[in-house]
Amino acid sequence: MRAKSSAAYVLIRVFIAALPFLWPLIPAAANALGNGTDDKARNAIRDVAPHYVPWFDAIWRPSSPDMERILFTMQALLGALIFIGVLHALRQRSGREK
């Protein structure tokens, strides 16, 4: 019985890890990702100060919106993995101090 519960636990973890990669493939999610806070801020600045000139421009821009979504997803996944790794290290460390 224990092997079944650990297999289910592994499957759940794999699904959660794969979710950021699958999310951009869902049409509704892809549209939601395209309407980010950067676009809203840019539009608000155009409304308030139409002659505003940014201080600098991006060094590199992704070739397509899909590539931008993939890079953003990879960045989020990397941040989540680092966060989980730090939590794991802290739990191990606190377990040794007792």
Q: Which residues of the chain have pLDDT under 50?
A: 1
What whole-number distance in Å separates Cα of residue 54 and Cα of residue 6?
A: 53
Here the tokens at position 81 are 């993995």
Per-residue pLDDT of 21-32, as tens digits, reads 776 666 655 555
Extents of the domains making up the chain? 2-51+62-97
- pTM value? 0.48
Q: Which letter does DSSP use for residue 1 in this model?
A: -
